[in-house]
A and B are shown apart, each in its own frame.
Chain A
Amino acid sequence: MSAAPSALEAPRGTRTAPFADVVAEHLDAVYRYLVYLTGDRTAAEDLTAETFEKAFRSWRRFDPRRAAARTWLCRIAHSAAVDWFRAEARRQRREQTYALETAEIGESVFAEGLSPTLERALRTLTPAEREVVALRVLLELDGPSAARVLGISSTACSTRLSRALKRLEEAMADVRD
């Protein structure tokens, strides 16, 4: 038997959920998280695929007693996104451009149904702030799980979320004005 099929069929410890089910259940969540984190839909798609590819390769090592599948996937997505940000930073230094400027003002990045005010306000946040908003608001992860994905303490995660929401409100007010 080749390594790939056994990895596919051997969800470590869960003994119930094959990888295909995990994909069906968490694909949207991981994609949302990465859209908010990167602010780039194309990059989020690539990173989502990369995340699940990594997850697929290490599926046998996943231990549900240590973390939920969503938290585990978000942790992988976080690492992939950080690598992407590093690559982007290098590219920007090379090209002396700002990646987010490539997105046209009228184009919706985060979601189709969002108000233009909220869309613009979200763009003013840093990736770290958007990340915590995505984890806590969109994915509805609890504090400890979100903190585990971010690699910070629960208190720091709570503080970051409060600041992010406050900044988002302020940014929306500024946009309205």
Chain B
Amino acid sequence: MSATDWTELDGHEALVSELRANPPVAPERLRQRVLELAPGSRRRVALPRSRRSRALAVVLVAAALAVGAALVHGFVSSGSRHGAATNATVHSLGPVVVHGAGAGSTTTPKAAQRLAAPPARPKAAYSTANTGHEAVVIPKDRLVHAHASLQVHVPSHSALTKATNDATQIVSSLGGYAQSVQYQSETKGGGSSFLALEVPVGKAQTAIGRLAQLGTLVSQQVSTQDLQQQLTRQTNQIGTLRRAIAVYEQALQSGSLSPSQRIEIQIKLANARHSVTQLRKARSDTVASGATADISLTLTTGKSSIVGGGTHTSGRFDRLLGGAAGFLALEGIVVLYALVVLSPLLVLGGLAWVVLRERRRRDERRLLASA
């Protein structure tokens, strides 16, 4: 207690002395009355926790619960993904026939055999992953349109550049060309390169094999669409129309037709010639479509870019950690969202509390000043 605490009493020493010399003394009955509240037990219990330490304990418990929930979620989700990993393993064991051109669906081996496409199947897709499988056969005795998608992982950025250049050279050497090349490389992290390639369909199989050897084959999808039936149909239609044109021309040259019949035959002849022209063009497009194969090649480098079979190498512990981290992030988002939603209410509540407290104090001051 400093001396300055008592400067207010300066000049009032006599008054202060008198007041202090005659303090009110609590009557004995009051002392007994109050002591009855506190019977004489003197056992002491240590309760050192302050409000701050209690709040810290609550925060720690909440954080522990959040982490525990995340770990449990990660454990459960890593277990539940085991089936998916098994399917993926089956998927990577060898060529699996997939309905349609999409690669999104996988089937069990039995179902795959049942769904295997016959040679004359109009449209089929073959999807494989990893190496160690036999090359997909593209029929050479029929006109087909082939499309292949390959994802190849390379170990480094320099290998990515080299593989991109090599891919272009491979298709050039086979009589094809690179329709487009998109190369992307990051200093820290992965890089990728996407090439849209066109090769003669007869060399497609060779091209796919050589492109797959640019690195580690992560996934491969080959789809073929049979164009032979379409070509045959178009050729037959052209032949039919040619014969009709010959008949119309003969009829017009005979001179036995009435004027109205002549006009009618002339219209049919013009329509037939027009149809023949269109069919010839369509047949040319069909042949051209069957002449080349589209190959989409994706080259990737960096750990995060490994997909498909690459992810199946991670252990359950990694999946647990990943699931837990994801769940923690979700918890954080929920907490943040709740804070954003509740913060206006909290601010309003705080303001109301301050206003009420101030009003109560003002009433109290008025009461004590006027009583």
A residues sitting closer than 8 Å to B (CB atoms) are 5-6, 8-13, 15-16, 18-20, 23-24, 27-28, 31-32, 35-37, 41, 44-45, 48-49, 52-53, 56, 60, 63, 65, 82, 85-86, 88-89, 110-115, 118, 126-128, 131, 133, 136-138, 142-143, 151, 158, 161-162, 165, 168-169, 172
Contact = CB atoms under 8 A, between A and B. Distances in A.
27 contacts: A9-B41, A9-B44, A15-B46, A16-B44, A19-B38, A20-B39, A23-B38, A28-B26, A31-B26, A32-B23, A45-B30, A49-B30, A82-B368, A85-B368, A86-B367, A118-B18, A126-B370, A126-B371, A128-B365, A128-B368, A137-B9, A142-B1, A143-B5, A165-B8, A165-B9, A168-B12, A168-B15
A63 B52 CA distance: 12
A126 B18 CA distance: 20
B4 to A, nearest CB: 9
Contacts of B369: 126-128
Contacts of A128: 365, 368-369
A99 to B, nearest CB: 8
B364 interface: yes
B42 interface: yes
Interface string B29-44: 1110111011111111
Interface string B11-32: 0100110111111111101110
A111 B23 contact: yes
Given A63-B51, A136-B8, 10 more contacts: A6-B45, A9-B43, A15-B47, A16-B44, A23-B38, A28-B23, A49-B34, A89-B371, A137-B19, A168-B12
- Most B CB within 10 A of own CB, among A36, A52, A65: A52
A53 B41 contact: no
B17 to A, nearest CB: 10
Q: Chain A's interface: helix, strand, loop or mixed, by majority?
A: helix
Contact of A115 (B18, B27, B45): B18
Interface residues of B, number: 45
A32 B24 contact: yes
A147 to B, nearest CB: 11
A158 B5 CA distance: 9
A133 B19 CA distance: 9
A69 to B, nearest CB: 13
B258 interface: no
A15 B44 CA distance: 6
Contact of A56 (B5, B18, B21, B37): B37
A19 B12 CA distance: 36
A168 B371 CA distance: 16
A127 B23 contact: no
Contacts of A15: 44, 46-48
A151 B24 contact: no
Nearest to A45: B30
A48 B30 contact: yes
B9 A82 contact: no
Contact of B21 (A24, A48, A113): A113
B44 to A, nearest CB: 6
Contact of B361 (A112, A133, A136, A151): A151
Contacts of B15: 118, 165, 168-169, 172
- Most A CB within 10 A of own CB, among B24, B37, B48, B370: B24
Nearest to A28: B26
Contacts of A6: 45
B50 interface: yes
A-B pairs, top 3 by smallest CB distance, nearest first, are A113-B22, A128-B368, A31-B26
